[in-house]
Amino acid sequence: MSNKYAAQLYCFSSLKADDFEEKIAKLAEAGYEGIEFCGGFDMEPEKLKAVMAKYNLAIVSWHTGIERFYDAEFDASVAYLNAIGCKSAVVPGLPGELSGDAENLKKTAALFNDLSEKLKPYGIKLGYHNHWWEFVKYEDGTAPFDVFFDNTNFDITCQVDIGHALNGRQMTLAEIFSRYKGRFNYVHLKPYSLTLGAEDHGKGYQTYVGEDDIPWKEVLSTLKADGSTEWYIVELEYSGDKGPIKVLSDAIVYLKELEKTL
């Protein structure tokens, strides 16, 4: 059975109301089956659902700031996600007071556990999306990534970002996949080049899927064996002169061809 691929709308620097449907149509034409949204809940639910249904695309997940699930916004956030049929909310990053040292991250993990339980009755699964610095180890040899996910419940999605993981340089993909088996419900397939990022780590993102240093065949094979991945989400930090639609289109072609070799 073929993998299901989604595109992350973070790939676009802006997504104005007047070009939203055009981009969605092109992503569907490229072969994507779903979209992961990000940012505010700005579009009226019925309009959003109608556009997605028109192009037979699933609303896979939503990158949602943690503050949207605090008491003041909880009910409105849950109501919106339920209205559009979105069953996954992934926090894309943490404010400083919730990250930093290991003790802060343990407290944040406890907060995620509480929020996850609070969201369950509404059918919404909570997750977290990592960044490269979460793989840079503390002096005791532990990494922020481990401290957080070791202290969160199993059913909180480990949305590992493959490009950020490689950029972190201090924890191998094999270690990540082995340690957190069964938690990779939604994975971010982001390219990264260690060669381009040798001196300036940020430049390592200036590459494309299949032209980078990610061992894509190993990644797809490992996730297939793990069996927990529902959606493979392509995300970009860079599209060069090609533009995001072309880069996303090329990426899914490459990944689908690679699948055939597994």
Write the CATH number for 231. Answer: 3.20.20.150
pLDDT single digits (tens) 190-227: 999 999 999 999 999 999 999 999 999 999 999 999 99
Write the burial class of residue 48 (CB in 10 Å: 0-12 exposed, 13-18 middle, 19+ buried).
buried
Q: Kindly tell me if the per-residue pLDDT of 14 is higher than 80.
A: no
What is the side-by-side strand order in the sheet with 231-234? 157-159, 125-129, 88-91, 58-63, 34-38, 5-8, 231-234, 186-189
All residues at 6 or more sequence positions from 233 whose CB lies less than 8 Å from its CB, including other chains: 5, 6, 7, 8, 34, 36, 60, 61, 186, 187, 188, 189
- The per-residue pLDDT for 17 is 65
CA dihedral 256, 124, 85, 244 (to 10 degrees): -40
What does the block give as tokens for 131? 């960044």
Are residues 62 and 97 in contact, defined by beta-carbon separation less than 8 angstroms?
Answer: no
Amino acid at 206: Q
Which has the closest alpha carbon to 53: 81, 99, 31, 21? 21
Is 13's pLDDT higher than 70? no
Residue type, 165: A
Q: What is the mean pLDDT of the chain?
A: 95
Residues 6+ apart with CB under 8 A from 111: 66, 98
Distance (Å, whole) CA 44 – CA 48: 6
* Number of folded domains that form the chain: 1
Task: Give Cα 209 to chain centroid, integer Å.
Answer: 16
pLDDT digits (tens, 9 = 90+) for 110-158: 999 999 999 999 999 999 999 999 999 999 999 999 999 999 999 999 9
Averaged over 41-51, what is the pLDDT?
94
Read off the pTM. Answer: 0.96
Residue 81: domain span: 5-259
